[in-house]
Amino acid sequence: MKRWILILGLILLTIGCNGKSQNAVDFLQGDLAFVAQESSVLVVNIAAPTQPELVATLNLPGRVLKVVADGRFAYIIYEQYLETIRTGLQIVDMADPAQPQLQATYNTQHYLTNAIVQDDLLVLAHWEGITLLDVANKNEPQVVSELPDNARNYGLHLDGNQLLTTWGGCDFRSGLCIGGLRVYDVSNPQQPEEISYLEQDELPGYDVATSDGYAFVNGKGVWVVELTGESSLQINGRTQTAVGDLYNGQIAIQDDIAYASQTDGLHLLDISQPTAPTNLGRYVPTGYLFDLTVRDQYAYLVSENGLEIVDVTDPTNPQLLGAYATGSPVPIAPQPTATP
C-alpha cells in the first residue's frame, strides 16, 4: 500500500542516438536538427557544426514536448492548456526544410510524454501506458495496439523487436524515488507481449538505451540491467549522483560511452565494463538539458537556451563547438506538471 501511495504522490517531470544499439531516429536527420523551443520547432542546419543556421520555424498549438525524425517526416508531441491539459501529435513533411508541411494530426485522451519510430511503427509513451501506431500512411496513423500499465512512462527504446520502457520519479517533499523497466516483444505489433518487468525503489527511470545486452537507465545516476536473463531482471551495476532525482534526464550510447544528462550537466561514462561504469568527463551546458543525441564525434544537446554542439572526441574533456541560441528559452528549471 505504501508503494502505491508513493506512486500516487510522485511529482514527475514532463519534458519531453548513434551507437551499438540506438533508437531508430532522434531529432537529427541528415544535416538538420529539429530543436524544440516552447511552442515551436526550429529547423537548424548543422552541416557546419561551428555555425549552425536557422532554416525554418514550425509553430505548434502548444508547448513542444518531443521531436523525432525519420526520413522526410518529423513526429512532434505537444501540450495544450485548454479546459484541461491535453497533448497531441503532429506528423510534418520536411521534404522542403524551409517550408514544412503538416501531414496529419493525432489526438488522444492520454497524456503523451515521448515518442520513438522505427520503419512504419510509431511508439508513444503516456501516463496510462504505451500506444503503438502504424504510420505507413502518414495521412492516417492507425492505432495497432495498446499496452495499459497505469505507469507514467517516459523512456522508450527500440532494439530490434524489443521495446524497452521506463517509468518513475521522486516525491517532491520526501525525495523518495521509485522506478521501473519493462521489456516487450513487439515482433508482432498487433499483439505485443511483456517479457519482463523490474521495479526498483530509490531509482527513478527517466530514459533508457541499450548496448551489448545491457539496458542503461538514467535517473539519479545510471543503473545497469542485464537483459540476457529477461524473465528475472535485476540491477547489475550503477553510478550514483547526489542530484538528479527530480530531473528528467536523457541517455544516449555510442560505442563504449554513455552520455547521460543530470541536473549538473552531461556525464560521459565508460561502459566497456557494463556492470561497472566509470566517469570519464562532464560538460556543463548553458541550461537544463531536455534532449540529447550523439553522432560521430559530436553530442547534440537541446537545452533551455537552444542547441549546443559539443565535440566529444576526447571524452575526458568535451568542448563546445557551436551553438544556436533561441530567442525565447523555456523555463530555467524543470517544472513539475499537474496531472491532466
- Tell me, what's the pLDDT at 11? 36
Weakest-pLDDT range from 93-107, 243-257, 309-323: 243-257
* pLDDT score at 244: 53
What's 216's domain CATH number?
A: 2.130.10.10
How many domains does the structure of the chain reveal? 1
Which is more confident, 233 or 336? 233
Give the chain's mean pLDDT: 85
Region 211-220 average pLDDT:
92
Average pLDDT rounded to a whole number, residues 256-271: 94
Is residue 269 domain-resident? yes
Please check whether residue 97 lies inside any domain of the structure: yes
Q: How far apart are CA 168 and CA 55, in angstroms?
A: 37
Give tens-digit pLDDT for 269-315. 999 999 999 999 999 998 888 899 999 999 999 988 999 999 999 99
* Domain presence at residue 119: yes
pLDDT at 242: 61
Residue 340 placed within a domain: no
Report the C-alpha gap between 245 and 144 in whole angstroms.
34
194 part of a folded domain: yes
Percentage of residues in the chain having pLDDT higher than 70: 86
* 3-class SS of residue 4: helix
Report pLDDT digits (tens) over 17-57.
333 334 435 899 999 999 999 999 999 999 999 999 999 99
Q: Is residue 189 part of a domain?
A: yes
b/e sequence 223-240, b meaning 16+ C-beta within 10 Å: bbbbbeeeeebeebbbbe
Distances (CA, A) of 30 to 43, 70, 157: 12, 10, 21
Q: What is the pLDDT of residues 164-189, one digit of tens each?
A: 999 887 777 777 888 899 999 999 99
Kind plus residue range of the DSSP H or E element containing 2: helix 2-8
Residue 333 counted as domain residue: no
Q: What is the pLDDT of residue 104?
A: 96
Q: Does residue 245 surpass a pLDDT of 80?
A: no
Burial class (CB in 10 A: 0-12, 13-18, 19+), 94: buried
Global pTM reads 0.87
> pLDDT at position 172, please?
74
Print the domain residue range for 167: 2-325
Give the pLDDT confidence score for residue 9 in this predicted structure.
Answer: 42
Count Cα atoms within 13 angstroms, Cβ side, for 266. Answer: 35
Residue with cell 563546445: 320
Q: Does some domain include residue 300?
A: yes
Helix (H), strand (E) counts: the chain: 1, 29
Question: 318-334 pLDDT, tens per residue?
Answer: 999 999 998 544 433 33
